[in-house]
Every structure is written in C-alpha cells, then in structure tokens.
Amino acid sequence: MSKTLCGLAAFLCVAGTSSATSEGFRNPAWLGSTTETIRITDVEFTDTATILSFHERYKPGWWIQIAQETFLEDMNRRRYKAIRGEGITLGEHYVTPESGEGRFKVLFEPMPEDTRCFDFVEGFQEGNFRILGIHEAGRLPEIPRGEPFRMTDELEREFFRADTACIRGRIEGYSREWGFDNMQYTRRIAMTGEDTPITIAIREDGTFESRFLAYHPEEGWLLIRKEDKGKSIRFYAEPGKTTDILVRLDGSVECTIQSPGTFSLRNSLKHDYQTLCDYPYFEYKADADSLKDFQRLADCAMRKMETALQLAGYMAWRYEYTPWERHLAENYTKLTHGEAVLRCAMTQWRSLPAETAEKQALLDLHAAPDTYRFLRRMPLDDVSCLALYAYNPFVNGYEFSYPLLKAWKGSNYLLEDSLAPADSRMLAMEQRLSGCAKPSLCGRITLLQSMVFNMDYYLSRTDDKKTELAKSFSRRRRLLASPALQRQADRVYAEALARWKVPAYALPECEATEVLRRLTDKYKGKYLLIDFWGMSCAPCRMAIQNSKPMREALRDDKDVDFLFIHAEGEAPEKEYRKFVTAYLNGEDVQQISRSDYNKLMELFRFLGIPHYETLDPDGNVVRDGLRYTDTPLFRSQVEELKQKRASANR
C-alpha cells in the first residue's frame, strides 16, 4: 500500500447539471483543486450537519487519507469543522477498492442553507489538499476585484535596485542522521538566462543562511537531496532584505520577509496559487494528444487560462493578497499557459522529418505571425514577470519559437555584417508577434540572452575576432534600450573579458576546493580531465563508452590522466558497479556524497551532466579544456595546452 500523491497539481473545473434545492446542490462545480483523486458529487445542508459526498478513483489497494483537522470555509471566512466520516474514518487510511473506485461522505458542522460558495480545506501541511470555490454549476458568486497594481516609472526603478538579498532559516527538529547537511539553490538570473548553483550549508542545529546579489525581487526553490529523493522549498527574496524560512516537521513552510514593502509577498507564499493556477503537464499532454492541431490547442489553452485567471482572482480575494501578489498570480497563470503552447509549437515543427510536404506546410503555418496570436494575451512587456521563475521557461520557448528562429537564420555570430540585419529582422518579427509599439521587454531579453550565450564563443577565438565582438556588443547593447538590461550586458561582458585574459585560473580557497584537492592532488604534474557523470545520464554513459579506446591508448601517458566523479545514491549500486566494471575498469572512479557533489557543482558553476573540467599540472583550472575525441586529436589538444602554458609563464 502506498499513499496517494495528494499534492499533485491538477486544475479542474468540473461541470455538471446542477440540481439546486433548499437542502443543497448536486454535481457541484469548483474553481480549483489540488487533487485529481477525489471529486465532490453532492452537497447537502441539514440542521445538524453539512454533508459532502465524494467519489474517489485511484489505484486498487492504494490509500488516501482525510485529516481530522479538515474544515469548510464560507465566503465570510467562517470555518466549519469536520465531525466524522461515513464510509471513511477521518485521520485513517481509506484503501481504494479493487474496482478502483470508492464512495464516502464527510459530515461538517452545519453551514447556513443559503450558502452557495465555499472551500474544502484539509489543511496547509505538505500533502493536504484543497478544493476551492465549490458552487452550484453556473452560479459562482461575483468575486470583488480589488485595487489593481500599476508599475510606475518610480516603482520600476525601485524594482531594479540591485542589492544583497539574504535567505536564512531553520529546519525544525533537524538531525545529521537525516542524511544531508546542505541544500542547493539553482539561481537563474532572469534577464541573462545565467544558471548558477548555490550550495547552502545546514548547521547542526538546523539553521542555514545564504547571501547573494539580487538585481530585482525573485522567487526560487531550495532543493534538499537525499540519494534519489528530493524536497523543494519555495521562497521569495528581495534586494536589501532578509527572508526568514521555517521548515516544519509536517513539511509545511513559512516564509517571512523583514521590513516588507511594495514588492513583498504577504499571503501568497502560504496560500500558494501556483499549484492551482498553472497548466499541469498531464492535462496539457492529454489536450495536445487529443486535439493534435496547434491552433485548436492554443485556443483550448487560452480558454483554460481564463478559467485559471478566475481562480487566481478568487484566491487573491479569499486570502487577502496585496495588489502586487494578485498581479504576480495573474502573470504566472498567463505565462504557464502560454509556455505550454510554445512548447507544443516547438515539439510539432521539430518532430516531423525534414524535407517533407507535411513539414513544409507546418513550417509555413508557424512562419505566419498570426499563428502566434495568443501571444497578444501574454505579459510580454511587463517587468514584474522577472520576479517569477515561470518566466524562464516562457522566455526560452519564446526565443526558440519558429518565427524568431527564422528571422535569425543565416546570421554568423562572428560576422557583424550578417548579425546586424538578423537582429533587426528578429526585433521586427518580435514586434509583430507581441503587438507592441516597439520591441517588447521579452523580445529584448531574448536578444540579451543571445549575446550572453555567444560571449565565451567569441572570446575563445583569435584576437581579431575579439575586435568583432566589441563592435557587435556596442551595437547590440544599444538595441536593448533599457538601463537595467544594459547593466546586465555590461556585467556579463566584463566578467567574460576577465575570465579569458588568462588560459588558466586558480580556484578560490573554500570548502569545495578542499574537497577537490583531496581527489586531485595526486595528479599534480599532469593535465587532468575530470568527468562529472551519472548513471541516469545517457549522454554521460555514451561518452564514457565511446572514449574507452582512447583512454586505454593513453593509459601510460606521462602528460594526462582522467578522473570520474559520481554522486552517491544516484543509481542502484548493482547497476553502477556493473557499468564501472565494463567501461571504467582501471580508471580512477570516485563516488562522493551528494553534499560534496553539490559543493563541486557550485565551484564549477554547472547544473547538468556530463560536465568536464581540466586541471593543469599546477592544479589550476584550464579555461578552454580537454574534450573526448580520437586519440591523435586528443594528444594535439594536450600539446596545445602545454604551449599556451609555456607562453603564459614566460
């Protein structure tokens, strides 16, 4: 028996033929639910109880549970406690019958008979579920709109005020015996698309603290990893402020921002809209598979978005969101639905074989700006979206949408003469897609992320190409047309120039460097190719398999060696040992703790694997390091590094 995944996000708007009576209503509808396992089939009002009838559908032999603390809450925010269950015992397991379907009732303290909208709340602990806005089908009461948020020029300057953000907190009842002593925050700078892992140590008393430079308010997740399991803790940070986080034993999380201001979150972290207002992948996938046609899916997504926006408004009213919180909830809802449509578009035109009539017809469709008319309903020019992590996948989908890729086609990032007209075509097309009077913020961020992506490629070339980079950077910087974006471009450019001034750099003195030295000091005097890999990573395994002949040919080479680093608990030990015996026999393979692995991820600023780093004979990190290839070419890479090192030491 296993516990049902009650926390799976599922947006449901259940319609039915309502049969309203003075005693209640049948086949109710509701605005949102965090469970796909149960649905309410009947609401009955009596003098002694309010009775909810449920239909449960789940895997036979698996179980669900409704907590004793469950309550109903009406439109006046009055709560009505659960009294008992019929066919189910509150606080105990309800095992799904062999048929896969079950029925039961829960009795609550009596609500007024004229109640026409209320919430079912199991609680706010991890795994508890909620069904919000339960009402007679077609008769949802009007929800007060509230004061809208308006981003003035003054507020926008405040929004982009860069400063140090602090996140600190405590894990209730923490013990080292739990098997982890740090957390990881994968930080993405929304304007540039840079991803940086930050490792946060957990002290023995369960407290933790981290500081980083924030360029605007932003949300993120702290990830606790224990072998192949993980838990995410959502938080929100602001420049110049401290966010206090309490992780309770029941799994619930409380975040408090000290000295809250205009852009702070007051209630939306506790009463989270995200699991209710997004477009769940399972639902999107079902729609995409059944509708097949892109335009029909886009129209379907926009209809569901409107329903989800209604839920966002309901939650904003119900939980007393500030105007800023409501604005974020609405933008999050739009972005997640829009990103799903962009994802479908990319999947469609990339999945068909090239040079077929069907492929060409699809490309012709996607080349037409009107195909993407749903984008006119997206917040493409709203800076507040930068505070939402959901903005990152949306911008990625937007950047790689077919119209923008087609506009950039034929450009050479090393030739200003081809890049300039491509940029102009892209921004002109972006303006048509967005419907804005000038290129939107999202379009200009797309341009900035393109600049960032190609920065190291430019700088790894010859000196004459670096001159081309300077010319290109200056022109493209002007196109960004935003002080905030231009500051980010300047920062990335300056950091890239500093990195490429020397062929190798020394690691900082920190705990992660100490972890690395324990593994690599024995290789001083040689070039060392470090391979960060995992059994769950198919490209990792393929690269190791393909490089085996080359590595065997270099087994006794005096100039180079190899080190393979793997995280404990990433795969079943038996499978891991079998693979190592077959393809890494005789190599130095180190399986280190997840805690130490996280530290090395932060040290080398990587998130995905395979990831490769090269140390020179002094233990410094080589800027443009070794890569697997055939044996002669690999030897030539080593010789080139030796020549560069000799030149730098003259």
pLDDT band at residue 11 using 50, 70 and 90 as cut-offs: very low
| Domain annotation covers residue 539 | yes
pLDDT of 428 above 70: yes
Does residue 314 belong to any structural domain of this protein? Answer: yes
Is the domain of 103 the same as that of 43?
yes
Range of the domain at 170: 153-264
Residue 646, token pair as written in the block: 């000799």
**Quick one: average pLDDT of 48-65?**
93
Q: Give the three-class secondary structure for 85.
A: strand
Spatial CB neighbours of 595, under 8 Å, sequence gap ≥ 6:
180, 181, 182
pLDDT over 70 at 231, yes or no: yes
368 or 321: whose pLDDT is higher? 321
Residue 7 belongs to some domain of the structure? no
Structural tokens at position 196:
């940086």
522 and 557, same domain (yes or no): yes
What whole-number distance in Å separates Cα of residue 182 and Cα of residue 24? 52
Residue 191: per-residue pLDDT: 96
pLDDT given at position 353: 77
Count Cβ atoms within 10 A of the Cβ of residue 528 and give its class: 0-12 exposed, 13-18 middle, 19 or more buried.
buried
- When pLDDT is cut at 50, 70 and 90, the band that residue 19 belongs to is very low
Q: Which domain-ending residue is among 344, 377, 400?
A: 400
- The total domain count for the chain is 4
Say what the pLDDT of residue 337 is. Answer: 97
Torsional class of 320: left (φ above 0), alpha (ψ -120 to 50), beta (otherwise): left
Q: 11 vs 607, which has greater pLDDT?
A: 607
Residue 12 has pLDDT above 70, yes or no: no
The answer to whether the beta carbons of residues 180 and 226 sit under 8 Å apart is yes
Answer whether 133's CB lies under 8 Å from 32's CB.
yes
CB 380 within 8 A of CB 386: no
At 20, is the pLDDT very low, low, confident or very high (cuts 50, 70, 90)? very low
What pLDDT score was predicted for residue 15?
A: 32
Concatenating the DSSP letter of every residue in 373-441 gives: GGGGGS-TT-GGGGG-TTHHHHHHHHHTSHHHHHHHTT--TT-HHHHHHHHHHHHHHHHHHH--SS--H
Q: Is the dihedral of CA 209, 214, 217, 218 positive or negative?
A: negative
Q: How confident is the model at residue 361 (pLDDT cuts 50, 70, 90)?
A: confident
- Strands (E) in 215-252, as ranges, are 218-226, 229-237, 242-247
pLDDT at residue 121 is higher than 60? yes
Q: Say if CB 82 and CB 106 are below 8 A apart.
A: yes
pLDDT in tens, 253-303: 899 999 999 999 999 988 889 989 999 888 888 898 888 788 889 999 999
Please give the model's pTM, rounded to 2 decimal places: 0.86
Asked whether residue 527 falls in the same domain as residue 640, the answer is yes
At residue 417, the pLDDT reads 66
Q: Of the ranges 321-330, 341-350, 519-528, 561-570, which one carries the lowest mean pLDDT score? A: 341-350
558: CATH: 3.40.30.10
The pLDDT tens digits for 521-559 are: 999 999 999 999 999 999 999 999 999 999 999 998 999
User: Are 321 and 238 within one domain?
Assistant: no
Residue 72 pLDDT greater than 90, yes or no: yes
Inter-residue contact 160 to 214 (CB < 8 Å): no
The count of residues in the chain is: 650
Asked if residue 80 is part of any domain, the answer here is yes
Does the pLDDT value for residue 463 go beyond 80?
Answer: no
Say whether both 347 and 274 belong to one domain: yes
Average pLDDT of the chain? Answer: 88
In a domain, 147, yes or no: no
Report pLDDT for 571.
84
Compute the distance between CA of residue 629 and CA of residue 586 in angstroms, rounded to an integer: 20
- Residue 433 corresponds to which tokens in the numbers above? 């897609």
Q: How does DSSP classify residue 522?
A: G
Which of 400, 427, 446 is the C-terminal boundary of a domain? 400
The predicted structure's pLDDT at residue 646? 83
pLDDT on residue 365: 81
CA–CA separation, 242 and 114 (whole Å): 45
Residues 118 and 183 in one domain: no
Q: Residue 10's pLDDT is what?
A: 28
Q: For residue 38, what is the domain's CATH number?
A: 2.60.40
* Helices 357-367 and 323-351, packing angle to 10 deg: 150
Q: Does one domain contain both 174 and 119?
A: no
pLDDT: is 491 or 369 the higher one? Answer: 491
pLDDT digits (tens, 9 = 90+) for 572-596: 889 999 999 999 999 999 999 999 9
Q: How confident is residue 464, by pLDDT bands cut at 50, 70 and 90? A: low
466-479 mean pLDDT: 82
Per-residue pLDDT, averaged over 477-489, amounts to 95
Within a domain: 441:
no
Q: Of 379, 400, 421, which closes a domain? A: 400
Query: Are 257 and 274 in a shared domain?
Result: no
Residue matched to tokens 């509150």:
90
> Could you tell me if residue 62 is inside a domain?
yes
Continuous H helices in 130-223: 153-159
The mean pLDDT of 486-504, rounded to a whole number, is 88
Residue with tokens 């269950």: 85
> Is 589 in the same domain as 625?
yes
Same domain? For 121 and 227 the reply is no
pLDDT at position 18, please?
38
Q: 10 Å Cβ neighbour count for 534?
A: 18
Please tell me the predicted confidence (pLDDT) of residue 412.
Answer: 63
Residues 274 and 374 in one domain: yes
Residues 513, 585, single domain; the answer is: yes
Give 41's contacts (C-beta < 8 A, 6+ positions apart): 26, 27, 53, 54, 55, 103
Q: For the segment 368-426, what is each residue's pLDDT rounded down to a tens digit?
A: 888 899 999 999 999 999 999 999 999 999 999 988 988 887 666 556 666 788 888 99
Residue that the structure tokens 């972005």 belong to: 335
